[in-house]
């Protein structure tokens, strides 16, 4: 009997190619799993009904992901299918077009099962800022799945779908991957089209896959990467087959280990797991050396100034006039604008809009926003200097394992500071991958981050693949309470 929750994209492709299963059987197993566990974990804002799924299967003409069920983060547009950003202001928004990645996955034969919950407008690190469903971590339902792509991560980790796409503005793919025991890849800025991704920070956002294995990540990246003329920031580079780089040979590869990322305030269990993983990479022939980075003290402020400024600009369009929520019983157009935005946006989104408008305002633009742009250049240059001598940089993905709901939400600053390992990568536009490298003392996953040169996805994928082959951390399939145990 097919154990769907343990299936990978690669294994499913092999079974389909050998005609040992049919796409309908695979999709049916996914649908049954969603019905069994989603009322426990609340991963999906919208689940397509069987008629909609059958319609997809009927129109598929093959493809490299033929029949593979997946979910999309609810900020990636799907034509005539609800796309809410987990916000009241877009509660029933149905886009008139598909995002480029949605179209590419449909052309590859993949089957969309549902739209996954997220922190509202992707602003958060725990999925607690969602307006509708606050997704639970499949490893422990009392804990957060990470954010903002908490729903996509939980839908894969719980075995509802075989892969998901999330978006990453400051760690929003990698952090939930770390907390849910998955591989999460944030590609180089410009490698994957952002057309149809509802914007948070336009110079930082990037779409990427959440999968159970490194090979699955490479398989999905093959389908979604590539130039798109509808995205002005899309990079014109040659198409690659990322599965071909997975040789497992990392002998002679040089790894930089920033001392500041392993400072005394890092959780000891996480530190030990990553050091042990680094030793395994050394045993495979990689060369590991410590380096200094100077940007640690100002990277968080740089990120939150730039991202909030871009968010304030991007979210200005939600005014109750063109689409989305419109407040009732308003007294004139200005009152309607005010009430619509007050009722439609949650606390965290309002906080970042206010911060963004502040740093862009007259008298403060030079003091904050312009200075942050200069700091961004310094951060990028520092990464460039490291990559003159090293192939990959290694660091923790997150400062802790999955924490309880409410544990950090009372302190926004504490939550912001926890992004210290992930936001520098978005600031510099680099690729980075989180891979499970251990479990803490209560059995929760720990993530290690591998950072690559611009368009150096092959290096980090192969290094992660090599490590995946030799790690020894047991089964990474969580048992959902009330269903699997």
Residues involved in catalysis:
73, 148, 172
CA–CA separation, 56 and 67 (whole Å): 9
Structure tokens at 364: 């403060």
- DSSP conformation class of 286: -
Structure tokens at 457: 């996805």
Please check whether residue 176 is in contact with residue 152, taking contact to mean a CB–CB distance below 8 angstroms. yes
Please check whether residue 119 is in contact with residue 125, taking contact to mean a CB–CB distance below 8 angstroms. yes
Q: Choose among 236, 247, 241: nearest CA to 223.
A: 241
Helices (H), 144-262: 150-157, 174-180, 214-224
CA–CA separation, 118 and 128 (whole Å): 8
Structure tokens at 234: 């899309």
The span from the first CA to the last CA of the chain, in angstroms, equals 19
CA–CA separation, 391 and 282 (whole Å): 14
CA–CA separation, 199 and 242 (whole Å): 27
CA–CA separation, 204 and 168 (whole Å): 8
CA–CA separation, 238 and 164 (whole Å): 25
Please check whether residue 154 is in contact with residue 135, taking contact to mean a CB–CB distance below 8 angstroms. yes
- DSSP conformation class of 370: I
Neighbours of 3 (CB within 10 A): 9
Q: Choose among 39, 19, 23: nearest CA to 109.
A: 23
Neighbours of 468 (CB within 10 A): 17
């Amino acid at each position: 009997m097919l154990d769907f929750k343990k299936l990978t994209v690669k294994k499913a492709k092999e079974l389909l190619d050998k005609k040992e299963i049919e796409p309908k059987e695979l999709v049916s197993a996914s649908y049954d799993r969603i019905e069994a566990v989603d009322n426990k974990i609340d991963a999906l804002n919208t689940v397509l009904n069987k008629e909609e799924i059958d319609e997809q299967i009927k129109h598929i003409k093959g493809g490299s992901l033929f029949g593979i069920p997946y979910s999309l983060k609810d900020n990636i547009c799907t034509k005539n299918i609800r796309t809410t950003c987990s916000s009241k202001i877009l509660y029933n928004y149905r886009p008139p077009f598909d995002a480029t990645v949605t179209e590419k996955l449909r052309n590859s034969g993949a089957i969309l099962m549902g739209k996954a919950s997220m922190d509202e407008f992707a602003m958060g690190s725990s999925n607690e800022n969602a307006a509708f469903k606050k997704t639970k971590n499949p490893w422990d339902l009392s804990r957060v799945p990470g954010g903002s792509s908490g729903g996509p991560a939980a839908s894969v980790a719980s075995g509802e779908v075989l892969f998901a796409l999330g978006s990453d503005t400051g760690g929003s793919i990698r952090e939930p991957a770390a907390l849910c025991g998955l591989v999460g890849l944030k590609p180089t800025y410009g490698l994957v089209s952002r057309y149809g991704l509802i914007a948070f920070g336009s110079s930082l956002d990037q779409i990427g896959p959440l999968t159970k294995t490194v090979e699955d990540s490479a398989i999905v990246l093959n389908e979604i990467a590539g130039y798109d003329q509808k995205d002005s920031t899309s990079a014109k580079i040659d198409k690659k087959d990322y599965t071909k780089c997975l040789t497992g040979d990392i002998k002679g590869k040089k790894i930089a280990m920033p001392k500041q990322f392993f400072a005394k305030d890092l959780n000891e269990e996480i530190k030990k797991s990553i050091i042990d993983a680094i030793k395994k990479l050394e045993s495979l022939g990689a060369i590991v050396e410590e380096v200094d980075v100077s940007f640690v003290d100002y990277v968080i402020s740089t990120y939150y100034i730039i991202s909030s400024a871009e968010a304030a600009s991007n979210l200005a369009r939600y005014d109750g006039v063109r689409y989305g929520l419109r407040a009732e019983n308003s007294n004139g157009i200005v009152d309607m604008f005010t009430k619509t935005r007050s009722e439609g946006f949650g606390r965290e989104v309002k906080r970042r809009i206010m911060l963004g408008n502040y740093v862009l305002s007259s008298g403060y633009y030079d003091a904050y926003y312009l200075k942050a742009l200069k700091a961004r250049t310094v951060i990028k240059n520092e990464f460039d200097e490291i990559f003159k001598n090293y192939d990959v940089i290694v660091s923790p993905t997150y400062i802790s394992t999955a924490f309880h709901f409410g544990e950090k939400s009372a302190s926004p600053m504490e939550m912001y500071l926890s992004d210290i390992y992930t936001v520098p990568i978005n600031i510099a536009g680099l690729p980075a991958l989180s891979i499970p490298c251990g479990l803490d003392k209560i059995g929760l996953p720990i993530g290690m981050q591998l950072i690559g040169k611009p368009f150096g996805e092959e290096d980090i994928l192969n290094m992660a693949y090599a490590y995946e082959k030799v790690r020894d951390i047991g089964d990474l399939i969580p048992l959902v309470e009330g269903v699997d145990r």
